[in-house]
Chains A and B, each alone.
Chain A
């Protein structure tokens, strides 16, 4: 350890270092000259100095969106590389590259060039694998980021627009992924396109026209590969990059949300400045993400297109599966029973395909996108929120989120019903029927369970605030009474547990109209009151100072606020705050009447570390 005890920043250690504001080195002077030249013409210095000082809060969960951002950059970079060798053409040519098993086979130019990237372009396979792995990671991180935002309530005012943009990005990323893995024109990707053509046909009235317009005639045709290519490398990336730019700009405008904690309020943001800490951390994290993806790409083979052969509509491989993010839609397609297709008035309603393949994705994302507005309507909350919710403090929202996740994962597993059947040696029919049933039963069940767990966790938080931590130390008093010593939590730790407020149930007002007749409220009002009751009738409020004071006076008083405490409990359960002033372990200063102050200052200081 050092001899000095005066803390100073590490930057101040080297006394021989010149102070940055007094002397700039020759390099800095040159840069300053260039910067001055630019500023003379753009006035960029002012926004830049503001940006450099901008504060971002630190939390691991804030890195999920960062992973998505970096994956996007990696995708743009490696994708550009791939376009230099990929030939988006369905023209048939014989293969004469270095992959021996396919020598002489007639295939599309797209497939041949994808093989060349894999075998004849030096380092091409690494780039192709990085591109595909980054795409998988892109969509994983978007979705996990989205659920982080959902469960912490970060979508609330003023961030609703950004939530909608994020929802769109998430949906477009899936479509972009699909157009990407359909390009190599191997047997697997062609089978995916074949299914997509079937989806389009199921659209009522215009289905066959949509199919013919997209494929430029009969499936597979020769126009789909070049068209998908343009959509994949130009149209969707342009939209995604545009929306992403808006997304990140809004993060700057709103300033990042922060988790509740001492000193973190709705009116400030506590964290580290962009320069230098966030530049180093976030910039470094880009390289870490890139490095990890490159390592996976080097070690784990993904989509070995040479194994599948060129596309032909007649053969198929068992266990045909899309990339993971299309799994839920594919699973839905497997679960929906065939009887939903019917013929009426001479037309075919192919709802068994139309609902899961065409409607599911926009409906699910539409629900997700509209959630902030629904919740704001239910709570009647018009305030800005910059401090995040702990998921347990919003039990109904958390329950709904888990319900959505469970539904999603059931569909996801359904996409592997054949693989599950093979691996577990079970009947695929039984598994499918079980998953069909699960789809209806498990989401509501998981909602109920999650909400109960959240409420229990909230009660545990109350318990912790009111009674402190069990120390495991059993003390016998002079009279022969036994009790366990409870250690009160410090005010910094306590703040995270008591700072939230739960919205109250909205109730109808029994107002009276001009004729003295009681008005029962419009149907919208009644609905709103009902939904509000669904959201907040089950609620556990944060501990108030009064309750804590009551608990300090008498351990059973606060419990009476919620449920009668068993009479024997008091003898065993007691706690630090119940100790009579006369006993040897009494705090030096009894401050129960000053309700805002903690009774035991020692416990407070020890728990801050």
Chain B
């Protein structure tokens, strides 16, 4: 048994008590200490003997540690100076090949690395200093229970009641209830202002897009109309409605109106409605995923599957874009199309249902 003077002797500590016999305890008692019978437990042997470091025993070792710490601080200083040089000397747009990284901005690399070295070695110096030269004998501090004494608790409770009595809170219920009402309501104007001002009500906007009968299907992003005869079997086009670039809120309209156009062999379209709403095997579907609204950007030409890159919902174009895998539930809405007298593809009607993610009143 070793003892360096700081050792506590908690062997008799009641907190450690409890019988080790493995018998059940009654429910109403939990496991309160001191009910366990024979105090059969080991005693805490106390802190082990302190082992001194080399720098504690030898002036030479301490001097060496001092120089190591100073060296690290010097490295930091040098790196800081290099940062300043790099800041002024390296042009911002200078890029060069760096092994293992590839072509990189040399300014970014030099500034980042010199900053890193200057910071890192301050830290290493300080830690090395603490570990080699600062006292490493452990210190013991006593803990006290968090709970206040009963007297202090009573004083606190009495203080609250005395305050209430002094303010005549109990004797003047009129004040008590009106104050409660006022405090309960004061936040309402603030909340109302915020909630009322945040945004307009959605109205029917979520169920409507720009599409209406007669609008041409335009290729995105070129904004050129599409001739039905130019759409070969197997091809796919990103489509926006004619005139969307003249809209006041282009992105808001795009977020609803984006459409994918594909041409399949009409025999592959298994659902008669899908075939009728298309034109000679050319079909147009909303590009906005019915899950959470990512653009369904991946078309698998061989299987006729549309895949959403965000959460992998998979839609089968041959089955009217029914969900065949993934977290989405509803098929992509189809846009009914036809051709105008110049042979360009046009919408034959607006979307018949809301596009994009579901919402409560969607029905």
Contacts and interface: CB of A to CB of B under 8 A. Distances in A.
A122 B86 CA distance: 11
Contact of A208 (B27, B129, B136, B360): B360
B109 interface: yes
25 contacts: A10-B55, A129-B108, A195-B292, A219-B293, A263-B7, A266-B10, A270-B139, A277-B136, A292-B120, A294-B115, A295-B120, A314-B240, A333-B327, A334-B327, A337-B327, A338-B327, A338-B328, A350-B360, A352-B328, A353-B291, A495-B44, A501-B41, A503-B31, A507-B27, A544-B20
A179 B123 CA distance: 31
Given A7-B52, A299-B109, A283 B126 contact: yes
A96 interface: no
B15 A383 contact: yes
Contacts of B342: none
A247 interface: no
B265 interface: no
Contacts of A272: 135-136, 138-139
Interface stretch (A197-205, A232-240, A512-520, A551-559): A197-205
A268 B144 CA distance: 8
Interface stretch (A210-218, A451-459, A565-573, A582-590): A210-218
B87 A338 contact: no
Given A273-B139, A320-B294, A357-B292, 12 more contacts: A11-B134, A123-B108, A126-B108, A198-B289, A213-B199, A220-B252, A221-B252, A272-B135, A291-B116, A299-B101, A313-B295, A314-B254
A277 B134 contact: yes
A361 B342 CA distance: 54
Interface string A501-535: 10111111100000000000100010011000000
A477 to B, nearest CB: 31
B325 A432 contact: yes
B270 to A, nearest CB: 20
A339 interface: yes
Contacts of B29: 380
A390 interface: no
A195 B294 contact: yes
B140 A318 contact: no
Contacts of B140: 55, 263, 268-270
B272 interface: no
A207 B292 contact: no
A209 B363 CA distance: 16
B359 A298 contact: no
A494 B104 CA distance: 56
Residue from A54, A320, A529 with most neighbouring chain B CB atoms (10 Å): A320
A319 B130 CA distance: 47
Residue among A255, A432, A506 with most chain B CB within 10 A = A506
Interface residues of B, number: 138
A608 B313 contact: no
Interface in B334-363: 356-363
A343 interface: yes
B92 to A, nearest CB: 6
Interface string B65-77: 1000000000000
A207 B22 CA distance: 54
B59 interface: yes
Contact of B121 (A253, A291, A319): A291
A541 B104 CA distance: 60
Given A220-B251, A265-B44, A273-B139, A287 B312 contact: no
A179 to B, nearest CB: 16
10 residue pairs, one from A and one from B, having the closest CB atoms: A298-B112, A380-B30, A291-B120, A198-B292, A284-B126, A287-B123, A2-B58, A263-B47, A288-B123, A291-B119
A507 B16 contact: no
A509 B28 contact: yes
A319 B120 CA distance: 35
A288 B327 contact: no
Given A298-B112, A338-B323, A353 B15 contact: no
A290 B119 contact: yes
A211 B92 CA distance: 41
B18 A213 contact: no
Indicate the member of A208, A223, A357, A529 with the most B CB atoms within 10 Å: A208
